[in-house]
Amino acid sequence: MEIFQFLADGFLIAFQPLNFALIVFGCTVGLFIGAMPGLGSVNGVAILLPMTFLVPPTSAIIFLGALYYGAMYGGAISSIMLGIPGASTAVATTFDGRPLALQGKADSALVAAATASFVGGTISVALFTAFAPPLAEAALAFGPPEEFALMMLAFATFIGLGGDDIPKTFFSIFIGLVFSAVGLDIVSGDPRLIFFDLPGFYHGINFLVLAIGIYGIGEMLWTIETNKGDVIISQAKISFRRIMRAIGALRHSIRTMLMGSFLGYFVGILPAAGATPGSLMAYGVAKTVSKDPDSYGKGNVDGVVAPEAANNAASTGSMLPMLTLGIPGSPTTAILLGGMVIWGLEPGPMLFVNNTEFVWGLIASLYAANLFALLINLAFIPAFLMVLRMPFTILAPVIFILCIVGGYAPTKDMHDVWLMLIFGVVGYLMRKLDYPLAPGVLAIVLGPLAESSVRQSLIMSHGSFGIFVERPISAVIMAITVVLFVLPIVKLVKRRRAEL
Amino acid sequence: MAELKLRLSRRAWLLGLATGFIASAGTMATSEDALAAWEPRKPVEFVIMAGKGGGADRLARFIQGIIEKHNYSPKPFVPVNKGGGSGAEALRYVRDKAGDPHVIMATLNSYYTTPLRNPGIDVDIAKFTPVARLAEDTFQLWVHSDTDIKTVDDYVKAVKEAGPQSWRMGGTGKGQEDSLVTGMLEKKFGIKMTYVPFKGGGTVAKQLIGKHINSTVNNPSEQAGFWDAGKSRALASFTPKGKLSGKFGNIPTFEELGYGTDMVYYMQRSIVAPPKTEPDVQAFYVGVFEKVYKSAEWQDYLQKKGLIPGWLTGKELTAYFTKEREAHRKLLKAAGEIK
Amino acid sequence: MRMAELVMAVCLAIFSAGIMWKSTELPIGWIPGEGPGGGAFSFWLGAGMLVCCIAIIIRWARRRSPPSRSTDPFMSPKALQLFLLGAGSLTVMIGSIHVVGVYIAIPLFLVFYMRIMGKHGWGVTGALAAGMPVATFFFFEIALKITLPKGYTEPAFYPLYDIFL
């Protein structure tokens, strides 16, 4: 097999001393950047890109690939420990990761996240190795109607995430979508919803501003009040045996892990989708097929495993259209793509032919980066758990400061810091009145893509909705979406009947 | 406990160090200012008029990379994306930074179109301080290589046969470069197409290869990968005769095909500074970008990505900007985007 | 709690109406051959939000939702005090960033929070108040090259940049 020969050569490149050192260094740096609320793989890769001029291109991409992976692992850490998703890809991890941490099981959540990330990453690199070119062709078949169908599918999978209060759940989804519309209307090119004519609204409302506001500041205010200001968040015991036991306990989650990995990978391949819809869909599917769906959101390890396996798998998946088509599948890969241009490489269909050493060195290093990210992550778990032992009156101001700096960093605009404070305070008050907030946070992520794809489709079809069912791929996805929308209702009706 | 003490004392030491520096700041600043030519004292904000990952962003980060690699500036250039409102956000930000020596901006054609389309943002680009024009990016007319369309004549025929309802031209947002070029095509050949706006040029290129749209007016850098792989075909170039060299020079221009000299459109790639920038500050930035322009990396990039070299600075650059702004005013009026 | 539920729903309803009004700056109707206009999405979403608010108010009147049945106060005096201290100190801190910059605002906030709210000793408080800005500076400004706002203290940092950048 030619592939194995290429891969073996790739491993020789990945294990050269310089490259090997870069893998370990990249994973470690990535882990810490990812663990900061507000900083994710995009920031890490963008910031460290200029440093890669010191080394040859293959080493540079290996370093950034390792950093990307490390940051994906790290994203789970702040989701679990602080309940603040560091990036949109880690939102789904908070749903069960945070409750687990509050129950004193932060160690099993962290171990589950790391292990699932490893499985997801490895499976997707294997898929990448075997089927890169044909899958790239498949990704091209996704035009605006298919993208819209996919977005509907993502919405359908998290329809069940809200509370029992239906008007409040819908309010949350709608307000998230409205916030996502702020900024620019891409179809007409006109500015839109510029409240009070503040220039800060031109760049729209960043997902991170809402997420850090609600989950960071809002959550802290909530904890201050409920704990009357001076209680330790949770006691977590650490020992090597507990970590090993937590790994052992994951054998019950193997099915979820595999499901998350495959789903994440295939969603990640599709241009523009990226890892966020993948992780949400994995969470939704895991909950739907689970024997005990009610335990989700209350601290089910599978609820951490599914999104984490999926988001790591998707991050590898999104490299595929970047390398084979020159189209980034996520903001992070967009910056990697820019890097490749700087190094003098030509991403696109010819890359696999002209730069075999680069491509296979990267693929082999991804296997290695996965393994090291897992080991480094596990090694640091005790240190992360130490954080939870700090008295709350020390932890709270430190987290507040991290939120403010993290909210400022992506756009470098104080406008966003103020907005974050408002979201935090209002979100806290709404949460006290049982408004579910997670649907709103997710809507702000998926909203722009959903709106632009539906409007592009309608322009293509001159206003006819038929375009969504005439095209085969879009029709199939739409059919699955309808089933997913109907399924919870059927279940509900059945349960009501059984109760009567 | 001992370890804790040690850590505390190290922190205290660092703090002492920091306060020491701050205290001595005043004296150091004055003595240095008097001596040499102006140099930045802190990281320079390199504002980009577009979002992360797009063509303009990639180019700006490429330039930042060259500066960093060769140490052209004593303090780093830090890219800041302010792409909101087609660059309205960046324009307003830089306007409000009048006189600030640590801010510069990488521009593209929305530098003209955005203030014209949104008079509300109250930005007059003639007041900005010119730094340098680094290149002019070009446009070509592209179709998928599976089609029988080989020439511009074939193209016009195909569009007419398909009719305006089913011929889809992909491009970036309305009122931006791609839609203006499309407008030029429609006017010249008396054709009508359905214009589908996408987020960026890269997405547009991919939609063409996926056959979701029928034609595009991409920049060479956006289509080059597919072109090399034989997936797309360039029909004509929106450049004057003989300006493009390298492989893109082999694409016929509209002028060479006998459609007159008016089918020309460029995307400018320039750097500007805020209004009221001091001359010595301006001189520093001009110097930095002159080095960038002359670097092997930049010249190689121009060649490979089908850009036309064109160094321009000072008053000539301002004159160029005002001339182009008037040209865009006409184009926008013709497209019905402004009155 | 019951009162708060109503007040919140009414406020959100006003906000929804505001969004609908703001959306009309762009076309909200159906543009033939093109689909919905630029303001249509936010307009109809705003309308949806308004409907939700009305539903919440109806449920409030019928005492359907748990908060509308609850007789607990929305916030106990103690909770209100803690909330105001937390949110208020944050507001003051963010406001002060504009004037004195993060490197003064952070230590002041830490001192306030740890001394007054946490009643920690001066040793821990001082260590953190001094260590946090230093760590922030080296992590964000030097390692990641993210410049943070410094207000009027900015010139004091030039020598630090000269040394570390």
Q: Buried b / exposed e across A395-406, counting CB within 10 Å, b at 16+? A: bbbbbbbbbbbb
Q: CA C89, CA C23: separation in Å to the nearest integer?
A: 35
pLDDT at B277 over 80: yes
**Chain B within 8 Å of C80 (Cβ-Cβ)?**
no
Long-range contacts at B150-158 (CB < 8 A, ≥ 24 apart)? B150/B233, B150/B235, B151/B235, B151/B257, B152/B235, B152/B236, B152/B254, B152/B257, B152/B259, B155/B215, B155/B235, B156/B189, B156/B191
Q: State the burial class of residue A111 (Cβ atoms within 10 Å of its Cβ: 0-12, 13-18, 19+).
A: buried
**A1 CB-near residues (< 8 Å, 6+ apart):** none
pLDDT value for A273: 62
Q: Whole-model pTM? A: 0.84
Contact criterion met (CB < 8 Å) for A456 and B69: no
CA dist B273 and B281 (Å) reads: 9
Q: Please name the member of B62, B68, B206 whose beta carbon is closest to the beta carbon of A325.
A: B206
Which of A268, A264, A260, A263 has the alpha carbon at shortest distance from A327?
A268
pLDDT in tens, B96-105: 999 999 999 9
Query: Judging by beta carbons within 10 Å of its beta carbon (0-12, 13-18, 19+), is residue B310 exposed, middle or buried?
Result: middle
Dihedral, CA of residue B120, residue B126, residue B128 and residue B132, to nearest 10: 130
- C contacts of A166 (beta carbons < 8 Å): 55
CATH code, B44-136+266-334: 3.40.190.150
Helix (H) or strand (E) holding A396: helix A392-408
Residue in chain B lying closest to A350 (CA): B229
Kindly report the nearest CA distance between residue A202 and chain C, in angstroms.
15
Record: contact B18-C155, CB cut-off 8 A: no
Give the per-residue pLDDT at A285.
86
The domain spans of chain B are 44-136+266-334, 140-250
Domain ranges of chain A: 2-499
Q: Identify which of B112, B110, B41 has the alpha carbon closest to the alpha carbon of residue B73.
A: B41
Number of residues that this document lists for chain A: 500
Angle formed by the axes of helices B314-334 and B110-117, nearest 10°: 50
Q: To the nearest whole percent, how much of chain C has pLDDT over 70? A: 100
Compute the half-sphere exposure of residue A79: CA atoms within 13 Å on the CB side of its CA: 32
The per-residue pLDDT for range C9-39, each reduced to its tens digit, is 999 999 999 999 999 988 888 888 778 888 8
C68 contacts chain A (CB < 8 A): no
Chain C nearest CA to A64, separation (Å): 15
- C110 reaches A (C-beta below 8 A): yes
List the chains bordering chain C where 3 or more Cβ pairs fall under 8 Å.
A, B
Mean pLDDT of B11-25: 45
Interface of A with C in 226-265 (CB under 8 A): 228-230
Decide: helix, strand or coil at residue C88: helix
Q: How many CB pairs under 8 A join A and B?
A: 151
A335 token code pair: 């910056």
Q: Find which of A206-215, B56-65, C54-63 is predicted with most confidence, using mean pLDDT.
A: C54-63
Contact status, residue B15 vs residue B47, Cβ threshold 8 Å: no
Please count the CA atoms within 13 angstroms of the CA of A452 that sit on its side-chain side.
23
Distance from CA of B168 to the nearest CA of A (A): 7
Residue listed under structure tokens 């689909």: C35
Residue where the block lists tokens 């687990």: A100
Q: What would the pLDDT profile of B306-328 be if each residue is shown by its tens digit?
A: 899 989 999 999 999 999 999 99
E strand or H helix that includes residue A423: helix A414-432
Q: Half-sphere exposure of A456 toward its Cβ, with a 13 Å CA cutoff? A: 32
Please indicate if any CB of chain C lies within 8 Å of the CB of B76: yes
Helix (H, G, I), strand (E, B) or coil at A163: coil
B89 neighbourhood in chain A, CB within 8 Å: 199-200, 202-203
User: Average pLDDT over chain B, rounded to whole?
Assistant: 86
Residue C91: is its pLDDT beyond 90?
yes
List all residues 6 or more positions away from C63 whose beta carbon is below 8 Å from its beta carbon: C69
For B51, residues 6+ apart whose C-beta sits below 8 A from its C-beta are B57, B81, B83, B200
Candidate from A370-384, A389-403, B287-301, C123-137 with smallest mean pLDDT:
A389-403
- Closest CB to B75: pick one of C131, C146, C161: C161
Instruction: Judge: domain B140-250, CATH 3.40.50.300.
Output: no
Chosen for mutation from B1, B11, B47, B337 (greatest number of chain C CBs closer than 10 Å) is B11
Cα–Cα distance, A196 to C22 (Å, whole number): 10
pLDDT greater than 60 at residue B26:
no
Would you say the ipTM is above 0.90? yes
In whole angstroms, what is the distance from residue B214 CA to residue B207 CA? 9
> What does DSSP say about strands A183-185 and B44-48: parallel, antiparallel, or unpaired?
unpaired
Question: Least CA distance to A334: which residue of chain B?
Answer: B53
* Structure-token pair, residue A281: 């869909």
Integer Cα distance of B103 and B121 in angstroms = 19
**DSSP type of residue A116:** H
Is A184–B209 a contact, with Cβ atoms under 8 angstroms apart?
Answer: no
Longest dimension (CA), chain B: 85
State the alpha helices, DSSP H only, in A165-292: 166-181, 207-211, 219-226, 240-249, 254-269, 275-289
DSSP A217: I
Cβ–Cβ under 8 Å, residues A183 and C36: no
CB neighbours (10 Å) of residue A415? 16
User: Could you tell me if C149 lies within 8 Å of chain A, comparing CB atoms?
Assistant: yes
- CB contact (8 A) between residue A203 and residue B68: no
> Which of C127, C154, C161 is nearest residue B8 as measured by Cβ atoms?
C127
Q: Cβ(B59)–Cβ(B292) under 8 Å?
A: no
Task: Walk along chain A (500 residues) in steps of 10 and give the mean pLDDT of each run.
Answer: 81 88 91 80 77 80 89 88 81 89 86 94 90 77 88 76 76 92 81 86 85 86 68 57 82 91 88 76 86 86 93 87 74 78 74 82 89 90 78 84 87 91 94 86 83 90 90 91 79 71
Which helix (H) or strand (E) segment holds residue B79: the answer is strand B77-81
Count the neighbouring beta carbons within 10 Å of the beta carbon of residue B247: 15
For residues B49 and B105, the answer to whether their CB atoms sit within 8 Å is: yes
Closest CA to B286 of B252, B328, B253, B315: B315
Query: Does pLDDT of B19 surpass 50?
Result: no
Is pLDDT above 60 for B33?
no
Residues A348/A351/A353/A357 CA torsion (nearest 10 deg): -160
> DSSP readout, A375-395?
HHHHHHHHHHHHHHTS-HHHH
- Give the confidence band of B15 by pLDDT, cuts at 50, 70, 90: very low
**Angle, helix B177-189 to helix B314-334, in steps of 10 degrees:** 60
Residues from chain A contacting residue C35 (CB–CB below 8 Å): 454-455, 458-459, 463
The conformation of residue C149, written as its DSSP 8-state character, comes to: P
Contacts of C145 in chain B (CB under 8 A): 43, 76, 78
In this predicted model, what pLDDT tens digit does every residue of B248-263 receive, in sequence order?
889 999 999 999 888 9
